[in-house]
Chain A
């Protein structure tokens, strides 16, 4: 990474914070309307231990849900990508499932597995984030030009050889595109569960306690912490993409 690639996004963040601070100052908004970045520093100082603990809870449960989504989504995508019949059969179900707002599923899941806090949260993160992965893998596989298959089949290659040598690597760029969307979705899933269901764990719970105690700077501080975690995970995915599907990037 060059200095420019680091400095430009950092500068953008600083400009954003200055703009935010100035906006709150110019408008004369009180804390409960909108906290300014300078209000957040005391909030972080006061609750730093909680931020570390709950941030970690949110992070690992999001990553666990995401990993499940990758495994399940890839398998589902493979089934739908290779079999037309399965694609016809599963698409309506999948779309219907995805169309159900997950906020409505949260209380159901919370009741179903009452007391299983970690499991509930991971489950919602998984449920909300596997859809893009399944769809992208299935499209990547089903749109493989027949010539690619023919080149290997005419040499007597087995279906699994064709999958490992051609279909899988060719699908990787779509897969990573979907994974970037899923990262964000998984965070939404984790936090939905943390906010809606009273587990007292994760950044969502911290947000909720800020709400009950009318600690507005704390609420904003949680939002920024979530954004930070999201950015970190996103760039981890970008790094993985560069390693495994860097060939698809034409801009270099």
Chain B
């Protein structure tokens, strides 16, 4: 399958007050159409910088970031983003929040069609009945679900999730993982997920990329076998335990706490 997102040999350095700070050096990443890649790595290694590259919010010093073979030179409207902070607009209802991207991106949908689509997405994540509520009336998990609907309303080519479940409690997080599978089945997307949670990465993604410490390069790639419909039980299987072990070791290498050559 052709790669939808292709990142190769990317280098980027931030110029800060205390001198240049290299964040990315030798980043390689490919996501096929319909694929879902999780990116894990030590704190502060440049994972969020990666999302800004793919969104076109940042142009790297060197290297290529392309979507559908076209080099990214600036923001494109076919991207959906969700962050750890749900950043819903508090003065709008949930429905109006979800519709926000359609006020900016050109759309063929009529107002009624757009609203119907927003309602459908909200129902898909279990927020039916909350369309007219304000964000302040929703729990953290519900806000995050609404933020996900907003990221998908304009049917973006690429969905970028930057630790979207990071601030949620463990049970809510597992709920949202299952909702993500439901959403992906109904509304197929190509996605990049930045996460700190190794279990989350192997539960949601088909490929896990481990970044090294700063400046980040692609250190290790793990393909998660396709097992059909994934359930939480899979996380407690011996295969999952093995994958988690490998990933944990790779993170320790990235943190500089374990030698790279040791085999478990």
Residues on A close to B: CB < 8 A? 145, 147-148, 150-157, 161, 165-166, 169-170, 172, 245, 247-248, 250
CB pairs A–B below 8 angstroms (25 shown) = A147-B83, A147-B85, A148-B87, A150-B57, A151-B81, A151-B150, A152-B104, A153-B57, A154-B75, A154-B76, A155-B75, A155-B154, A156-B74, A156-B75, A157-B104, A161-B104, A165-B89, A165-B103, A169-B89, A169-B91, A170-B89, A172-B91, A247-B90, A247-B91, A247-B134
| B173 at interface, CB cutoff 8 A | no
Given contacts A150-B57, A250-B136, contact A155 B104 (CB under 8 A): yes
Min CB distance, B179 to chain A, in Å? 20
B89 partner residues in chain A, CB cutoff 8 A: 165-166, 169-170
**Interchain CA distance A35-B131 in the complex, whole Å:** 59
Given contacts A147-B83, A150-B57, A165-B100, contact A156 B52 (CB under 8 A): no
Given contacts A154-B79, A156-B75, contact A145 B85 (CB under 8 A): yes
Q: Sorted from nearest, which 3 A-B pairs have the closest CB atoms?
A: A154-B55, A247-B91, A156-B77
Min CB distance, B58 to chain A, in Å? 10
**Interchain CA distance A184-B89 in the complex, whole Å:** 31
B136 partner residues in chain A, CB cutoff 8 A: 247, 250
A154 partner residues in chain B, CB cutoff 8 A: 55-57, 75-76, 79, 81, 160
**Interchain CA distance A151-B77 in the complex, whole Å:** 11
What secondary structure prevails in chain A residues at the interface with B? helix
Q: Given A150, A157, A250, which contacts B55 in the complex, CB threshold below 8 Å?
A: A150
**Interchain CA distance A250-B105 in the complex, whole Å:** 32
**Interchain CA distance A165-B75 in the complex, whole Å:** 18
CB pair A155–B101 under 8 Å, yes or no, is yes
Among B83, B91, B100, B150, residue most surrounded by chain A Cβ atoms (within 10 Å):
B91
Query: Which residues of B43-77 are within 8 A (CB) of A?
Result: 52, 55-57, 74-77
Proximity string of chain B (90-107) to chain A, C-beta cutoff 8 Å, 1 when within and 0 when not: 110000000011011100
B81 partner residues in chain A, CB cutoff 8 A: 150-151, 154
**Interchain CA distance A161-B101 in the complex, whole Å:** 12
CB pair A147–B87 under 8 Å, yes or no, is yes
Of all chain A residues, the one with the shortest Cβ separation from B79 is A154
Min CB distance, B229 to chain A, in Å? 31
Proximity string of chain B (208-222) to chain A, C-beta cutoff 8 Å, 1 when within and 0 when not: 000000000000000
B100 partner residues in chain A, CB cutoff 8 A: 151-152, 165
**Interchain CA distance A152-B150 in the complex, whole Å:** 11
**Interchain CA distance A166-B101 in the complex, whole Å:** 13
Of all chain A residues, the one with the shortest Cβ separation from B85 is A147
A247 partner residues in chain B, CB cutoff 8 A: 90-91, 134, 136
CB pair A150–B52 under 8 Å, yes or no, is yes
Proximity string of chain B (27-48) to chain A, C-beta cutoff 8 Å, 1 when within and 0 when not: 0000000000000000000000
Min CB distance, A71 to chain B, in Å? 22
**Interchain CA distance A184-B90 in the complex, whole Å:** 29
Min CB distance, B75 to chain A, in Å? 5
**Interchain CA distance A57-B5 in the complex, whole Å:** 68
Of all chain B residues, the one with the shortest Cβ separation from A154 is B55
A172 partner residues in chain B, CB cutoff 8 A: 91
**Interchain CA distance A224-B113 in the complex, whole Å:** 58
CB pair B104–A156 under 8 Å, yes or no, is yes
A150 partner residues in chain B, CB cutoff 8 A: 52, 55, 57, 81, 83
B83 partner residues in chain A, CB cutoff 8 A: 147, 150
Given contacts A150-B55, A165-B100, A165-B103, contact A155 B77 (CB under 8 A): yes
A250 partner residues in chain B, CB cutoff 8 A: 136
B134 partner residues in chain A, CB cutoff 8 A: 247
Min CB distance, A239 to chain B, in Å? 17
A166 partner residues in chain B, CB cutoff 8 A: 89
CB pair B75–A248 under 8 Å, yes or no, is no
B52 partner residues in chain A, CB cutoff 8 A: 150
B76 partner residues in chain A, CB cutoff 8 A: 154, 156
Of all chain A residues, the one with the shortest Cβ separation from B134 is A247
Of all chain A residues, the one with the shortest Cβ separation from B135 is A247
A169 partner residues in chain B, CB cutoff 8 A: 89, 91
Query: Given A145-B85, A157-B104, A170-B90, 5 other A-B contacts at CB below 8 A?
Result: A154-B55, A154-B79, A155-B104, A156-B74, A172-B91
